[in-house]
Amino acid sequence: MRICLLMLFASLMVACASAPKYQYAVEPTPLKAESTQYAIESVEVNLILGHGAREGDTRFNTEAKITETFTQALTQALQEYGALADAEAADADLNIVVDFVRKYNTGGKALNTPQVSHKVIASRGEQELAVFGLESYTLEYGIYDQMKIAGFKRGNDEELADIKRLAQLMADDIVQMGR
């Protein structure tokens, strides 16, 4: 019974934490959901080695590889939405910071679910227009992925898939920013 209650509580916490809270610095905001054009001004992904990391271990993706994968996936997702523009044509610029805490399974030879925090700032020139972000969350996984985690079979490919999912979810939220 306790386990069921804990699982229900955890599910509710993830669901509540998954909706972005937009904070608009200018009212009325010039941002329009599903029509504003954005340029990606900067992307910073901070890879933080969490519990179970082994000193000098190079078997997993580098911070540069994670940043490259995230930036490419975000660019592609925004292009698919028709929300990506070059700097001159953009209605707003995006500055994105992602803290990606890599967690390891026992022994440090396989990966567990990462813990993520992110912040997105939309601005025009020096004027901040809107901010949203989430602190300390994890992605949801299906039974197959959970089995891989439990079986110590999660590695580089799964981590890059997480990064791509994260970029897609963030693009979904970016496109909905505005009124």
Distance separating alpha carbons of residues 61 and 163, to the nearest angstrom: 11
Q: What is the mean pLDDT of residues 161-177?
A: 97
Query: How confident is the model over 86-136, as pLDDT tens digits?
Result: 999 999 999 999 999 999 988 788 999 999 999 999 999 999 999 999 999
Q: Residue 78 contacts by C-beta under 8 Å, 6 or more apart in sequence?
A: 38, 40, 84, 171, 174, 175
Which CA distances in Å does 19 have to 2, 22, 40, 129, 145? Answer: 27, 9, 22, 19, 23
Q: Is the pLDDT assigned to residue 18 strictly greater than 80?
A: no
Q: Do 49 and 102 form a contact (C-beta atoms < 8 A)? A: yes
Domains of the chain are 20-176 (3.40.50)
What amino acid is encoded at 161 in this protein? A
**HSE-CB of 147 using CA atoms within 13 angstroms:** 3
Classify the phi-psi angles of 173: left when phi > 0, otherwise alpha if psi is within -120 to 50, otherwise beta.
Answer: alpha
pLDDT of residue 142: 87
Mean local confidence (pLDDT), 27-51 = 96
Asked which of 29-33, 108-112, 124-128, 166-170 is least confident by mean pLDDT, the reply is 108-112
Q: What is the mean pLDDT of the chain?
A: 89
Predicted local confidence at residue 1, as pLDDT? 53
Q: What is the pLDDT of residue 19?
A: 60
- How many Å is the Cα radius of gyration of the chain? 18
Instruction: Give tens-digit pLDDT for 44-61.
Output: 999 999 988 988 889 999
Cα separation, 117 vs 97, in Å, equals: 8
Q: How far apart are CA 8 and CA 10, in angstroms?
A: 5
Asked if pLDDT for residue 3 goes beyond 60, the answer is: no
Task: Work out the average pLDDT over 26-35.
Answer: 96
Percent of the chain beyond pLDDT 70? Answer: 89
